[in-house]
């Protein structure tokens, strides 16, 4: 059994599943991010998608409630503290998370819906007809870039972007 740690803030707020905070694209590791980010919100000010919001502890984090990230790099250019940066190693992978689709998905429950697959530019979400009118949803985590476009279009709220779902995903 894998032990999971939570911090005091998560305990007091009843967040027993641990932290799944998504920082802006090309963020440095979490500890260095929270130590060096001054919470100036210049990254949020330039985000034309309005994805970067005030999160836990006042630090910037991503909310996919309106739309997904198009990786325009404006947030990186605006960051004066270099907690968001692109170099030779991470220039292809903006972040280390992918989509996760729960059993609440309409397609898995026999209701015709293809919203997430239609909006997915990387074609990471595919549908395979199954017995009884249901559809098997196939998520290719290798093709998923974690942009979050699929999150806001899902009428069932069955999709989330998760750091845990990227475990084992090769971003190099």
Tens of pLDDT, residues 139-169: 999 999 999 999 999 999 999 998 755 443 3
Q: Does the pLDDT value for residue 81 go beyond 80?
A: yes
Q: Between 172 and 138, name the one with better pLDDT.
A: 138
| Contact yes or no for 106/158 (Cβ under 8 A) | yes
Percent of the chain with pLDDT over 70: 81
Beta bridge partners of 66: none
Q: Does the pLDDT value for residue 109 go beyond 60?
A: yes
Between the two ends of the chain, the Cα-to-Cα distance in Å is 29
For range 97-115, the mean pLDDT: 91
Confidence band, pLDDT 50/70/90 cuts, at residue 17: low
Contacting residues for 4 by C-beta, under 8 A, at least 6 apart: 17, 18
Q: How confident is the prediction for the chain on average, in pLDDT?
A: 84
Q: Between 77 and 21, name the one with better pLDDT.
A: 77
For range 117-132, the mean pLDDT: 92
| pLDDT at 93 (0 to 100) | 76
Q: How far is CA 164 from CA 17, 22, 37, 45, 160, in A?
A: 11, 11, 23, 28, 11
Place of tokens 């590791």: 29
Q: Does the pLDDT value for residue 90 go beyond 80?
A: no
Q: Round to whole Å and give the CA distance between 23 and 113.
A: 30
For range 97-107, the mean pLDDT: 93
Let me know how many helices (H) and strands (E) the chain has, helices first.
6, 6
| pLDDT at 92 (0 to 100) | 64
């Amino acid at each position: 059994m894998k032990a999971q740690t939570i911090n005091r803030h998560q305990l007091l707020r009843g967040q027993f599943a641990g932290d799944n905070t998504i920082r802006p694209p090309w963020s440095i590791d979490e500890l260095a991010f929270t130590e060096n980010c001054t919470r100036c919100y210049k990254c949020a000010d330039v985000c034309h998608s309005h994805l970067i919001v005030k999160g836990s502890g006042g630090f910037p984090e991503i909310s996919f409630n309106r739309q997904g990230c198009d990786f325009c790099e404006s947030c990186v250019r605006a960051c004066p503290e270099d907690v968001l940066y692109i170099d030779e190693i991470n220039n292809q992978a903006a972040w280390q998370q992918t989509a996760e689709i729960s059993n609440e998905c309409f397609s898995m429950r026999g209701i015709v819906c293809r919203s997430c697959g239609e909006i997915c530019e990387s074609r990471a979400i595919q549908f395979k007809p199954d017995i009884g009118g249901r559809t098997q949803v196939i998520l290719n985590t290798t093709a998923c870039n974690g942009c979050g476009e699929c999150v806001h279009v899902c009428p069932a709220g069955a999709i989330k972007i998760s750091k845990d779902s990227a475990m084992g995903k090769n971003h190099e």
